[in-house]
Amino acid sequence: MQDEPKARRRNASIAPQRVILVTGASGAGRTTAIRALEDFGFEAIDNLPMRLIPRLLSGGKDAHPLALGIDVRTRGFSTEALTDTIDNLAADPRVQAELVFLDCRPDVLAQRYSETRRRHPLAPDTTPIEGIRREIDLLAPIRARADVLIDTSELTVHQLKAEIQEWLGLGPGETLSIAVQSFSYKRGLPRGLDLVFDVRFLRNPHWEPALRAHTGLDADVRAYIAEDARHAGFLERVLDLVNFLLPAYATEGKAHLNIGFGCTGGQHRSVALAEEVGSALAAAGWRVSIRHRELETPASAGEETRGGRSR
């Protein structure tokens, strides 16, 4: 018994794991909400059987935030089971639990079911409106317990994601991941690039014997490239364009943006520009990863840091 106060103090010093339960009417946008939370850094699990939720949270401390999607199709679902789960999580000091309920007008839900030609899970053999009415009655006690209530009747997919982003208090730099990479045109464009900049017009360090063995990661190479009269103007315009586009992409709900810089060999000019642009975007608060395809080794591939490449 003498150790109990120490144990309580030790538990109190550990930050609780954030757990968001997402539920609501079928067709109200639960899947969209779960995907949005996943984009915002939550580990998302949809339709986990109710009996497994306690097991999921009993495996020791895990600071990673968790989003759980639950609806009437979830195995073991009942109003009582979900209410008990909410109560148990609220009483657990290791967990910071929040219930998000997605609401929607019955006529809008009926229209969505009509457009998708799906059957309602509570009325597979009758019209969707019958299942919608039953579900509204069934979920009324859960709706009353919600910490956050979002009416999706008039929301698009992107607007729902923006609502969740605003509720979480996240800025654009925390919701959009940017990958900046260099590459050689000899090997072709990497897959999945959204924006591509060809920097082969800049002076090429390859033709300087003292620089040929170096790369765009080295200060002497970057200084040589920067001496090109076109370098500063190009870099300024690229940053102006990208800084103009990024907030718009974030508002539209884009989660990942891939920017590529290409040169002949992928060793000097493209590497230097990718480093400069990636570092500038990271300094502005964006989440940035920098990759150099032609320089990659197993130890350095995919390195990521909020403050630019760490060396």
Both 187 and 296 in one domain: the answer is yes
Q: What is the pLDDT of residue 166?
A: 78
- Is residue 8 situated within a structural domain? no
Pick the last residue of a domain from 170, 200, 220.
Answer: 170
- Say how many domains are in the chain: 2
Alpha-carbon span 47 to 75, nearest angstrom: 7
- Give which of 48, 54, 92, 87 is closest to 70, Cα–Cα: 48
Q: What ranges make up the beta strands (E) of 200-282?
A: 256-263
Q: What is the pLDDT of residue 268?
A: 96
Alpha-carbon span 16 to 93, nearest angstrom: 7
Domain that residue 296 falls in: 173-305
Distances (CA, A) of 249 to 7, 163, 164: 47, 16, 16
Tokens of 121: 């899970």
Q: What is the pLDDT of residue 69?
A: 93
The one-letter amino acid code at 107 reads: D
Reduced to 3 states, what is the DSSP secondary structure of residue 101?
Answer: strand
Both 27 and 128 in one domain: the answer is yes
DSSP string, 137-184: HHHHHHHHT-SEEEE-TT--HHHHHHHHHHHHT--GGGT-EEEEEEEE
Both 100 and 194 in one domain: the answer is no
Alpha-carbon span 165 to 42, nearest angstrom: 12
pLDDT in single tens digits along all 311 residues of the chain: 445 444 444 444 567 888 999 999 999 999 999 998 888 888 999 999 999 988 888 766 666 889 999 999 999 999 999 999 999 998 988 888 999 999 999 999 999 988 888 888 888 888 889 999 999 999 999 999 999 999 999 988 888 888 887 788 766 556 678 999 999 999 999 988 999 999 999 999 999 999 999 999 999 999 999 999 999 999 999 999 999 999 888 877 777 899 999 999 999 999 999 999 999 999 988 889 999 999 985 433 333 333 344 33
- Is residue 1 situated within a structural domain? no
Distances (CA, A) of 115 to 25, 71, 109, 111: 17, 21, 10, 6
Both 153 and 44 in one domain: the answer is yes
Q: What is the pLDDT of residue 59?
A: 64
Reduced to 3 states, what is the DSSP secondary structure of residue 120?
Answer: strand
Contact predicate 254/176, CB 8 Å: yes
DSSP assigned state of 16: P
CATH classification at residue 105: 3.40.50.300
Both 223 and 246 in one domain: the answer is yes
Pick the last residue of a domain from 135, 170, 205.
Answer: 170
Q: What is the pLDDT of residue 4?
A: 46
- Is residue 236 situated within a structural domain? yes
Alpha-carbon span 97 to 305, nearest angstrom: 29
| Total count of residues recorded for the chain | 311
Q: What is the pLDDT of residue 174?
A: 60
Both 139 and 252 in one domain: the answer is no
Contact predicate 192/258, CB 8 Å: yes
Contact predicate 128/114, CB 8 Å: yes
- Is residue 38 situated within a structural domain? yes
Q: What is the pLDDT of residue 306?
A: 32
Both 212 and 112 in one domain: the answer is no
Pick the last residue of a domain from 136, 170, 204.
Answer: 170
- Is residue 225 situated within a structural domain? yes
Both 141 and 79 in one domain: the answer is yes
CA-based radius of gyration for the chain: 25
Q: What is the pLDDT of residue 119?
A: 87
Alpha-carbon span 283 to 229, nearest angstrom: 25
- Is residue 6 situated within a structural domain? no
Q: What is the pLDDT of residue 25?
A: 92
Both 113 and 86 in one domain: the answer is yes
Alpha-carbon span 95 to 85, nearest angstrom: 12
Both 80 and 25 in one domain: the answer is yes
C-alpha angle with apex 44: 41 to 48, nearest 5 degrees? 165
- Is residue 88 situated within a structural domain? yes
Both 165 and 191 in one domain: the answer is no
